[in-house]
Amino acid sequence: MDWAQLLSEARFKAPRQAEGQRSPFQRDADRIIFSAAFRRLQDKTQVHPFPDSDYVRRRLTHSLEVSSVGRSLGTHLGYFLLRSDRTLSPTLPFDLGQIVANACLAHDIGNPPFGHAGEKAIGSWFKDELPSGLKKDLSEQQRNDLEKFEGNAQGFRLLTRLQDFRDEGGIRLTYATLATFTKYPTTSIETETNGYIGAKKHGFFSDDVPYFADIADTVGLPMYARGWRRHPLVFLMEAADDICYRVIDVEDAFKLGRLSFREAEELLGAIVPSYARSDQWGEDDTISWLRAKAIGALIEQVRESVESNLPALMSGDFSEPLIDCISAASAVETAYAAVKKHVFGWDRIVSAEIAGAQMITDVLQKLVFAIEAPGSYRNAMLLKIVPHYDDAAPTYTKILAVTDFLAGMTDTYLRRIHGRVTGHAIL
């Protein structure tokens, strides 16, 4: 792969135009931040649904923090490349930093309400409950799209099709940003659990394959048997996400009382090479400081891993998370295991996920069953609330209109719509 092609400034679905004082990649960031889908992340679950504490992070805060870490990783890589080749553009560090930051801003933009629990609820419903009369109208890949419902694929739809739906839709990001956003450049029928890292899940729905093929061709991603190889900057975006949630979840767990001060200090301290804190600090200040030091240490280690693995990244042969290739990998995994034990299994989290999954399946069932029998008065009323629903469209397109609607909801809006479609609330 070639950096000149990988960093394409051309805009998807848009003619080349003057960018003014901002670089094309800075404009990408502004377009993402001002989109409605990005704004809705303020009311979507990160780990804790409807948290009692205002301190605990939601998807929006998480995305901003990941973007900050991603910018650092991209900028480091840019300076490394400049030291190796002085003929490269002097703006390369800023461009790489901004592209990775953009992908990080958008990396969770397609997540449904209640996060990964919501993804599983949607996929499970289609696998177990989709009426046979509708299922027979779908191809194998279309069924897989729904049964393996994936927030990454939904995010690709949002960025390229759903946001600003007029004039063919999409917010007209650069090809470089869209390729860096696409963590899984493969389809739902080509996924493989134990193969290439970019094929663990799917990154786009069958309707959107031509869109990604255009992106891959423009930036020069190599094809292989199950799709395309990742853009090298995807690994930096993934590492930024891994760094943030695996470290910051420890801080959130401490703030919620799920980890003691000593437990949190030990977990974060194991990531930091050496540290000395003031005895004058309180527990909250100490954990916040250690969280910052841990993130800084991981950024440095991932930077070293990127530089040592750059030839494999550029050839498309690299196939593991960068966070697993650093000296602190074991300490990071220990911290994540502690969070899974003390937070993910907490009865408050589990109860909220059960309630969220039930609301999702109830709404999904009402709307999809209405597609199957649209003639009744009640079903006709239900379908009126689905944006851009077209009764003359193919079955797959009609179902995607429903999943687009559902996945775009915030946690709070889902609760409101659930009350309406089940007849338990009017407003």
pTM of the model: 0.94
If we measure between CA atoms, which residue out of 327, 14, 21, 284 comes closest to residue 169? Answer: 14
For tokens 């900050």, name the residue.
68
Query: Taking 70 as the threshold, does the pLDDT of residue 50 lie above it?
Result: no
Pair 68, 292: CB distance under 8 Å:
no
Q: Report the pLDDT value the prediction gives residue 344, as an integer from 0 to 100.
A: 79
Q: Pick the residue with more confidence: 424 or 226?
A: 226
Give 15: exposed, middle or buried? Use CB within 10 Å, 0-12, 13-18, 19+: exposed
Would the pLDDT of 165 be above 90?
A: no
pLDDT of residue 85: 87
| Count of CB atoms situated within 10 Å of the CB of 127 | 14
Q: What angle do CA 80, 85, 91 make, to 5 degrees?
A: 65
Mean pLDDT of the chain: 92
Q: With a cut of 80, say whether residue 258 has pLDDT above it.
A: yes
Domains and CATH numbers, the chain: 3-112+139-228 (1.10.3210.10)
pLDDT confidence of residue 213: 97
pLDDT at 361 exceeding the cut of 90:
yes
52 against 151, higher pLDDT: 151
The pLDDT, as a whole number, for residue 289 is 93
Q: How far apart (Å, rounded) are the C-alpha atoms in residues 196 and 229?
A: 9
pLDDT at res. 425: 74
What is the model's pLDDT at position 20? 77
In the numeric block, the tokens 């009640």 are attached to 378
298 confidence band (pLDDT: 50, 70, 90): very high
- The per-residue pLDDT for range 233-253, each reduced to its tens digit, is 999 999 999 999 899 999 989
pLDDT the model gives residue 135? 95
Q: Tell me the average pLDDT across 307-324.
A: 96
Query: Any idea which residue has 């709307």 for tokens?
Result: 367
Report, as an integer, the average pLDDT of 52-62: 75
The predicted structure's pLDDT at residue 86: 83
pLDDT value of residue 350: 83
pLDDT band at residue 359 under the 50/70/90 scheme? very high
- How many whole angstroms separate alpha carbon 83 and alpha carbon 74? 14
Using pLDDT thresholds of 50, 70 and 90, give the confidence band for residue 343: confident
User: What is the reported pLDDT for 16?
Assistant: 67
Share of the chain above pLDDT 90, in %: 77
Residue found by looking up tokens 């209640």 in the block: 114
Contacts of 134 (CB under 8 A, 6+ apart): 368, 371, 372, 395, 399
* pLDDT tens column, 64-118: 999 999 999 999 999 999 998 888 889 999 999 999 999 999 999 999 998 888 9
- Could you tell me the pLDDT band of residue 47, with boundaries at 50, 70 and 90? low
Q: What is the per-residue pLDDT for 215?
A: 97
* Element containing residue 223 per DSSP (H, E): strand 223-224
- Residue 423, pLDDT score: 83
In sequence order, what DSSP letters do the residues of 226-238 get, joined into one string?
TEEPPPHHHHHHH
What's the pLDDT score for residue 54?
A: 62
Q: How far apart are the first and last CA of the chain?
A: 54
| Mean pLDDT of the 379-407 span | 95
For the chain, give the number of residues.
427
**Rounded to the nearest 10 degrees, how much is the dihedral formed by the CA atoms of 384, 385, 388, 390?**
-30
pLDDT of res. 14: 81
